[in-house]
Amino acid sequence: MATTRLLRIGIFCFDDVDELDLVGPYGVLNAWAERSPLRPEISTLTADGSGVRCAHGLRLLPDAAADEVEPLHVLVHPGGPGARTLAADPAHLAWLHRTRQATPLLVGVCTGALVLAAAGLLAGRPVATHRDAFDELVGYDPTLLADTEARYVDDGDVVTSAGATASLDLALHLVARLEDPAAAQTVARHLQYDYNPELTV
């Protein structure tokens, strides 16, 4: 009998998203989904279901529009140049607020944290982001606690990461958290990635 897909993870995509912020977590999480008895469902979402052009030219066709998916267990928000546009977009910030109310775990990758901060979702929390974006981050919310050293920061129902390749460590941490550390190591071995969680926080 097939296992019912109960664990739904959505990765939000947008014009000028950084490819590595998006593809890093997507690749890790899909490698996990192919091996896990939990059978997590990994979906890419855009605001209206239309395709997007990423920061370095990659074109992407998402699985669904953001408002068409069933409630998520995890929402992953990547960064990139387009994150600044979204941080100033009232409609997107309002969507984040609505989605947050029904989503147990919120994840900001790299400068995706800027958008979460602009939406007021990181107040008083420890937060990681790209090393060059901390001044911007604190500008959106001076109450948050910027962690300039960690590859990722897990603050319970919100997890954020530093830039670029830190997205791989973040995604493997999510696998360890949502299933177990052995599952994360299995995925890391499959991807031939040298993953040592003790060195990433």
Of 103, 123, 101, nearest in space to 7 by CA: 103
Tokens 């960690």 locate to 150
Maximum C-alpha span of the chain:
52
Q: Which of 112, 158, 156, 152 is closest to 136 using CA atoms?
A: 112
The distance of Cα 138 from the centroid of its chain, to the nearest Å, equals 19
Out of 110, 166, 183, 188, the active site residue is 110
54 is catalytic: no
Read off the DSSP letter of residue 58: -
Q: Please state, in angstroms and rounded to a whole number, the distance separating the CA atoms of residues 158 and 37.
A: 25
- CB count in 10 Å sphere of residue 67: 12
Q: Tell how far CA 62 is from the center of its chain.
A: 15
Active site residues: 110
